[in-house]
Amino acid sequence: MKILKSKVFIVILLIFLCVLIIAAVIFGLYMKRVNAYQDMVKHTIISDVDISDLPDGIYTGEYDVDFIYAKVEVVVKSGIITDIIILEHRNDRGNTAESLTGDIILAQSIDVDAVSGATNSSTVLKKAVELALTG
């Protein structure tokens, strides 16, 4: 009976160690993905666009940095941005960044301040607008 309890203990210990190793590998892969996402956002360059030269129309752009994704439509009429429609915005806590579209319309420029607490989503939304306007 004592030998059976010892074998059961060893099996349980091995199972626990396997689960622990698998969890560590999954966590490591997740952290690698998070670091890549943060690096992508950090190195995103946003260039302002001369809107006055754009023909009237609806321009679609999207930008994806893995954890945050945005797809927008930008309406241009007579060289002025008249509307920005967010078609999709996948984010964690960055919903407040969606107010940025109003700032872009008012400034007629992508070069507006990020929304506090939603800096990464602000970056992704501004890049999506830029890509819409630059094709």
Residue 1: pLDDT band with limits 50, 70, 90: low
The answer, yes or no, to whether residue 86 has pLDDT greater than 80, is yes
Distance CA 49, CA 47 (A): 6
Strand-strand pairing, 69-77 and 80-90:
antiparallel
Comparing C-alpha atoms, which of 133, 131, 135 is closest to residue 64? 131
Domain residue spans of the chain: 1-43, 51-134
The pTM assigned to this predicted structure is: 0.82
CATH of range 51-134; options 3.10.20.30, 3.90.1150.10, 3.40.640.10, 3.90.1010.20: 3.90.1010.20
